[in-house]
Amino acid sequence: MPAILETRQRRQQAILAILQRQPVQRQAELVGLLQNEGIDATQSSVSRDLQHLGISKLGQGYYPQTDANTGPRTDRDQVAGFIRDIQAAGPNLTVIQTAIGAAQRVAVFLDRSGWPEIVGTLSGDDTIFIATRNGQAQRRLRTRLRSSFPE
C-alpha cells in the first residue's frame, strides 16, 4: 500500500509542476504529458488526482490552486480573473458574466462569502444571477463586487 501512496503523490506533484509551466486543456493531454515524464497514469487516475488537488477546469483549461511566484492564492484571487461584466437587472437582481465554464465556481465563492447583501445565487455556464432583498442591498453589492473584482 505505501508504494501506491508514493506513486500517487509523485503523480500529483508532477501534475502541479506541469500545470504551473503550461496550460492543459484536456485530461487526456495531461495523461500524455505525465507519460512523457515517465509517470504511469490513466485518465481516471488523473481525474481523481485533480479532484484531490482541488483543481477544476475553468474556461479553456486546468489551472493550479497556487502560483509558484506568489504562493497560495486566495479564493477571491482564484475567481477574479473569470468575471467579465457586472450589471443590474431590475431593483434586486444583479447579473455577472464570467468566462465560459467559470460561473459555478464564482457563484460558490459568492455563496460562501457571507456578504449580507446576497440572498442567493443561480448560475449557468457563464452567467450568474444574484438576488438581493431590495435596491439598496443591490447597490451595496454592486459596489462591493466592483471594488473586489475590477473590470
Q: Alpha-carbon torsion 107, 109, 111, 114, what sign?
A: negative
Percent of the chain with pLDDT over 90: 39
Considering only residues 113 and 27, tell me which one the structure prediction assigns the higher pLDDT. 27
CATH architecture of 75-148: 2-Layer Sandwich (3.30)
What is the average pLDDT score of the chain? 83
Has this prediction a pTM greater than 0.95? no
Going from N- to C-terminal start, the domains of the chain cover: 2-57, 75-148
Distance, CA of 31 to CA of 43 (rounded, Å): 6
Predicted pLDDT of residue 2: 61
Which residue in 78, 63, 76 sits closest to 25, CA to CA?
A: 63
CATH of span 2-57 = 1.10.10
Which residue in 78, 149, 150 sits closest to 115, CA to CA?
A: 149
Q: Within a 10 A sphere around the Cβ of 73, how many other Cβ atoms?
A: 15
The DSSP 8-state label assigned to residue 57 in this structure reads: E
Predicted pLDDT of residue 49: 87
75-148 matches 2-57 in CATH topology:
no
Question: What is the maximum span of the chain, computed from C-alpha positions, in angstroms?
Answer: 59
